Amino acid sequence: MAFVGIRRKKYFVERGLQLRFARFVILYVFIASVLTGLTTFYTTFMMLGERLADVYPQGRVLQIFRSAHTALLVDMLVILPLIFYGSIVFSHRIAGPLPKIYQALKSIGEGRFDVKIILRKHDELKDLADGINDMAARLRERELKK
């Protein structure tokens, strides 16, 4: 029985897929952050703007809001690499099994039905790999009956 088992040590297995996934996650988080920030600052300005203007001079209120906007931007820039790393690690669970699956399907297509895909238990494509293993076993049985 041939085992299709490649130990993955690199996080970039399917670089294009993983980078597209990371770009989507970062864009989604960025848009959500901007909308949340704008909603928060708009609500704060509408609810507290007049009260703050009564307490602080007009220039001071603008300075407070500018410093809040700057803090939001700095926070987003600090968090962005963490989001990128997290999205690459998560995409590794999807893209990591692909080379094993491609190799197994190629072997099955060439008539070698003694293929078994072994994935880690947390890989997202484990059900697909199990289905391919089951298909290969049934094809092997059918081939032996002939």
**Is it the case that residue 144 has pLDDT exceeding 90?**
no
| Rounded CA separation 144/67 (Å) | 74
Q: What is the mean pLDDT of the chain?
A: 80
| Rounded CA separation 99/90 (Å) | 17
Output the furthest CA–CA distance in the chain (Å, rounded): 92
pLDDT of residue 7: 52
| Rounded CA separation 112/98 (Å) | 19
**pTM for the structure as a whole:** 0.54
> How far, in whole angstroms, is CA 39 from its chain's centroid?
26
Burial of 95 (0-12, 13-18, 19+ CB in 10 A): buried
**Is it the case that residue 59 has pLDDT exceeding 90?**
no
User: pLDDT tens, 10-52?
Assistant: 666 677 878 888 888 888 888 888 888 778 777 777 777 667 6
Query: Cα-flanking dihedrals φ and ψ of residue 124, to 5°?
Result: -70, -25
User: pLDDT tens, 89-114?
Assistant: 887 777 778 888 999 999 999 999 99
pLDDT of residue 125: 86
